[in-house]
Amino acid sequence: DTEVTQTPKHLVMGMTNKKSLKCEQHMGHRAMYWYKQKAKKPPELMFVYSYEKLSINESVPSRFSPECPNSSLLNLHLHALQPEDSALYLCASSQRQGYTEAFFGQGTRLTVV
Amino acid sequence: SQKIEQNSEALNIQEGKTATLTCNYTNYSPAYLQWYRQDPGRGPVFLLLIRENEKEKRKERLKVTFDTTLKQSLFHITASQPADSATYLCALEGSQGNLIFGKGTKLSVKP
């Protein structure tokens, strides 16, 4: 199984809503990542978890809250988002942080209204 | 600061020709460089990784070169097909072990 599964595929939420994005991998990878991608831009790193501990937080606003319940799961909790937070949110994993290739999920297309 | 440039925002070629995409970097000496393919609305898909001590790497119709003196990687698709149309991203390892992506080159292969 070389898949990274993200749910939901699409999400529309209001600025006062609380929602969560979920990511799952069963490749035994110990590094997991959240990226944000705006239209016609490259993916931008948000968070890195290494061995279930937060390793990198790229100065992301606190309205985004990551969580890594176990080595296979990664969540991104969303609260009080702004319309400019609308983007494609990508989860990725790799054997370990900084090691070879990353496997990406299909992404969650988030629209904040 | 580390900078990655993919000089062409878009590249249009005829089916059967070789597509050549360029990735340049500055203020950096990466141990390896990677290329990814991304289709609209989908996550990037890993294609090839080349290490600093490798000059060239091949995979089927794909070829990547890595010139650490010029600080440049070239990505070639030979005998291109319309199905190769996508955005191609080069990526370097950042100082914290994360990937830093170039802006990408959108390749269009016309039949």
What DSSP string describes A18-44? EEEEEEEE-S--SEEEEEEE-TTS--E
The whole-number pLDDT of residue B96 equals 77
Position B91 confidence tier, pLDDT thresholds 50, 70, 90: very high
Q: Which residues of A touch B49 (CB under 8 A)?
A: 100-101
Give residue B30's region: left, alpha or beta (phi > 0; psi -120 to 50).
beta
Reported residue count of chain B is: 111
Residues 31-70 of A with CB under 8 A from B: 31, 33, 41-43, 45, 48, 50, 55-56
Question: pLDDT for A40-62, tens place per residue?
Answer: 899 999 999 999 999 988 889 99
Question: pLDDT for A11-39, tens place per residue?
Answer: 999 999 999 999 999 999 999 999 999 99
Q: How far apart are CA B38 and CA A19, in angstroms?
A: 26
Whether pLDDT at B56 is above 70: yes
The whole-number pLDDT of residue A99 equals 66
Position A1 confidence tier, pLDDT thresholds 50, 70, 90: low
Tokens 């949110």, located at residue: A89
Eight-class DSSP state of B18: P
B41 contacts A92? CB cut-off 8 A: no
Q: How far apart are CA B60 and CA B42, in angstroms?
A: 23
Q: By mean pLDDT, which of A100-104, B9-13, B96-100 is the weakest?
A: B96-100
- Nearest CB neighbour to A101, from listed B34, B96, B104: B34
B103 contacts A42? CB cut-off 8 A: yes
What average pLDDT does chain A have? 94
Does the beta carbon of A83 lie under 8 angstroms from any beta carbon of chain B?
A: no
Query: Which residue of chain A is at minimal alpha-carbon distance from B51?
Result: A100
Query: Which residue of chain B is at minimal alpha-carbon distance from A36?
Result: B43
Does the beta carbon of B30 lie under 8 angstroms from any beta carbon of chain A?
A: no
The whole-number pLDDT of residue A98 equals 77
Report yes or no: A9 and A106 within 8 Å, Cβ to Cβ: yes
Does the beta carbon of B111 lie under 8 angstroms from any beta carbon of chain A?
A: no
In this structure, what are the phi and psi dihedrals at residue B103, rounded to the nearest 5 degrees?
-75, -15
**DSSP E strands: which ranges in chain B?**
3-5, 10-14, 19-26, 32-38, 45-51, 56-59, 62-67, 72-77, 86-93, 99-101, 105-110
A102 contacts B103? CB cut-off 8 A: no
